[in-house]
Amino acid sequence: MEKIRLVTDYMTSINRLITFTPEQNIMDAINLMLKHKITGAPVLNREGDIIGMISEKDCLKVILKATYYNDMPGKVEDYMSTSVTSVDEDKNVEEVAEMFIDNHFKRFPVVDKRGRLIGQVSRYDILRATQDIKATTWGQKSTTA
């Protein structure tokens, strides 16, 4: 059977990852998300630590705040989720697939052994791993009797 690959083989690495800061204007963040066709991203403090995640769902709150309360949108920190579940760099795609099945998240930040952000993995990224699994390994039954 083919060896299961690591999450780092499929993630978007930090040098290609869109990130936001808590002080960033939420409308600027939404515009960047739309421009880059992404559904969410990590929020980092000045030291580069992950302090939250901002998603399209979080950004929908902008509409409610503006229409119901006639209030101007604020900063990313006003809308971001602060409860962050990350994935260690040594996890394999099978383990991360289980995490996605067990959670409602569409993406996880990937961190190194020091807890520093090195990338992000999405459901789509893990789904791409199916292309690397040989068709002969799917549905094989043991022939040992």
Three-state SS string over the chain comes to: CCCCCEHHHCCEEHHHCCCECCCCEHHHHHHHHHHHCCCEEEEECCCCCEEEEEEHHHHHHHHHHHHHHCCCCCEHHHCCECCCCCEECCCEHHHHHHHHHHCCCCEEEEECCCCCEEEEEEHHHHHHHHHHCCHHHCCCCCCCC
| 137 — pLDDT class (breaks 50, 70, 90) | low
144 assigned to some structural domain: no
Place of tokens 């929908």: 60
CA distance 65 to 67: 6
Task: Give pLDDT tens digits for 50-106.
Answer: 999 999 999 999 988 888 777 788 999 999 999 999 999 999 999 999 999 999 999
Query: Domain total for the chain?
Result: 1
141 assigned to some structural domain: no
Q: What global pTM score does this model have?
A: 0.82
1 assigned to some structural domain: no
CA distance 44 to 91: 22
Residue 115 is part of a domain; what is its CATH number? 3.10.580.10
Token pair for 122 = 């999405």
User: What percent of the chain has a predicted confidence (pLDDT) above 70?
Assistant: 90
2 assigned to some structural domain: no
Domain that holds residue 26: 7-133
27 assigned to some structural domain: yes
CA distance 79 to 62: 8
